[in-house]
Amino acid sequence: MPAVRPAAVVPRDSKAQTQRMLWRERLVVAGLLLGLALGVFGAAHLQTVASDGYASWADKQYRYRQQHYQPRRKVVDRNGEPLAVSAPRPTLYANPWQLHQVGANPAEVAKRLGPMVGVSEKSLLKRLQQSDRRFVVLKRHLVPQQADEIKAMKLPGIGIEPAWRRYYPLGEVAASLLGFTNVDDKGQEGLERSFDQALAGSRYQEIGKRARDGRVLEMDKAAWQVDVDAPFELTLDRRLQYVAYRELKRAVQEHDAAGGHMVILDIASSEVLAMVSLPSYNPHVRNKLNWDAVRNHVISDAYEPGSTMKPLVMAAALDAGLVTEADVIDTHNGRWKLGGHWVRDGRRRGGLTPAEIIRHSSNVGISKVALRFDSADMWMALSRYGFGAPISTGLPNEESGRLPHFIDWQPIEQATLSFGYGLSVSTLQLAQAYATLGAEGVRRLPTIVQYDAEPLEDRVVSANAANAVLTMMEAVTQAEGTAPLAAIPGYRVAGKTGTARKSSRKGGYTQDSYRALFAGVVPASQPRFAAVVMVDDPGGEHYYGGTVAAPVFSAVMADALRLLDVPADADSAPRHLPVAALRANGGAG
């Protein structure tokens, strides 16, 4: 029987080895698949979730970013002359936390900085030892050279921040109008405060691409965020501002007065050419401010304007046909009883024409004219001049004045309103009313900031009525009027005096405290300017508007006409009367 060949037998070790190889292959494949999956997931993550972070990191490597600081806008007058400017005055600061982290010696830093910036080492050391603080001001208003020297020292935790300080070239001459800023360059008073948003400086960022060595390759112009660096233009003429301040201050000192105001308007546009308020102050030295001096009294004070109201009432009466230029009004020898009250003139006279009422400043005459109005009509006529309503110049603390409602008027109240008692006005409101007469009866709202738009207009009285009253007012500045001291050689001057008693805190009026006023228009033939001068509480012998305020008007407006090259319109100057003659002439206004 043939032999049977036995089957091949696979050793156990070889079988196990084969199994291990299979598992290894499977693990390798699984690892490859897992790696592929992780790669796909990672790529997707980079493209979606983490893309912003990596892009930001890359941006930091190749982008150029620089912070810039823009100073507060320059304020200029109508001719581009500077009224308020900002000069670089950097701030020295410290990061005490960083100083502590790098192990720097605060005492050594204080010792090196103290003599350079004029601050005691003890004071600096106290601030530098505040290790929990990251920003501490060490010194404000460095000069640029100091800042450069400190930067060159490269002291740890010490830095320079751009900052500016405000300067006012006219000083106290325009301080009450312009105001001032604080240490953070924020407007605190005056125009700086009310137009702070328009004047404020800004910060912006400059962005571009840079090379590895730090060189800036190109700028991204779209990234600039810069405010327009245009000056802030006012209607003021700094030459006239200075002249008005000089002459008003001279009068205040000469007459030992409490203060005074003056404003000049361009009649055609009603732009403010000068606005002066006394007392004033130095805007660069404010450690002991007199806050009464800080106020702009031209717009913030309202007072009874006295006889300067008479031409305005007369123009309204002529316009309404209640009186004609030929009328003769009985003034009862300067003493007239009305409802148990006496209305008096400074001098006894009989019948007066409207022109003579203005020339001699007759209270009785203008009262009789005023009482021809229905009370509602007279109230409306005075309202149209702008009394009792704010002008809205944009300046802070503007006073609207007071015009009582006609429903409360008695005949005596209606009469006293006509010669400036019982209502209150600001100096700017009064100037606006006189500019209305100069503009042939058209009222334009005064402005202090240059605008492209035409001024708002409103007809108050007819051109004929306004021109007639201007002619009457010319007689006031001539020899027999109450203000020949307001005359200007070579020019026709139309104006009116006012001498108003000040109210008493105990009620009624004081016997020895006055406001001296003069309001006028020049040249009378072709009016260019309207101006009002008010001297508050003049002491001494003279207190009439014709002797205290009128000379200021003459001196200032003579210079204004010359500086602005306005042609003369008179052959010779009216004859001046001496002060004693003025008083005898009833020049109380």
CA 348 to chain centre: 47
Cβ contacts of residue 53 below 8 Å, gap of 6+? none
Q: Give the alpha-carbon dihedral of 283, 287, 291, 296, to 10 degrees.
A: 10
Query: How is 360-372 classified by DSSP, letter by letter?
Result: HT-HHHHHHHHTT
For 87, 97, 123, 179, 183, the CA distances from 186, given in Å and listed in that order, are 15, 29, 27, 11, 7
How many C-beta atoms lie closer than 10 Å to residue 585's C-beta? 19
- 513 exposure class (CB count in 10 Å sphere: 0-12, 13-18, 19+): middle
The full 3-state SS of 424-493, as one line of letters, equals EECHHHHHHHHHHHHCCCEEECCECECCCCCCCEEECCCHHHHHHHHHHHHHHHCCCCCCHHHCECCECC
For 180, 194, 586, the CA distances from 482, given in Å and listed in that order, are 40, 40, 7
Identify the active-site residue in 307, 367, 400, 424: 307
For residues 482 and 544, give the distance between their C-alpha atoms in angstroms, rounded to a whole number: 9
Cβ contacts of residue 244 below 8 Å, gap of 6+? 262, 264, 274, 276, 556
Is 14 one of the catalytic residues? no
What the block records as the tokens of 501 is 């008693």
Amino acid identity, position 215:
R
- Residues annotated as catalytic are 307
